[in-house]
Amino acid sequence: MSWVTVSTKVRRSILEKARRYGINVSEFLRKALEEEVRRRELEELAKLAEVVAEGLRKAEAAYGADHIWRSIREDRDSR
């Protein structure tokens, strides 16, 4: 795993308060960034799942549900 240094500016008063409360600023910011990235990845996956679901709904409307399930079964049986 490789690491990079990221810097940001915060008001001095906030940094002083964080230190007073014993907040490890680097760890806090690292965790907050990781959580935000994870949240956005999940949002992206949810949107992709909705696109796939919409495609399946359209296929079901065009071909019928039985066709979809038969195709899935045929694919599984061919392995």
The pTM (predicted TM-score) of the whole model is 0.70
Average pLDDT over residues 52-74: 85
Taking the C-alpha atoms of residue 47 and residue 49, their distance in angstroms, rounded to an integer, is 5
Give pLDDT tens digits for 6-25: 999 999 999 999 999 999 99
Q: Token digits for 17?
A: 């308060």
Comparison of pLDDT for 72 and 3, the residue scoring more: 3
**pLDDT greater than 90 at residue 29:** yes
**Cα 34 to Cα 30: distance, rounded to the nearest angstrom:** 6
Helix (H, G, I), strand (E, B) or coil at 10: coil
Of 48, 47, 65, residue with least CA distance to 56: 65
pLDDT band with cut points at 50, 70 and 90 for residue 45? very high
Amino acid symbol at 51:
V
Residue 65 has pLDDT above 80, yes or no: no
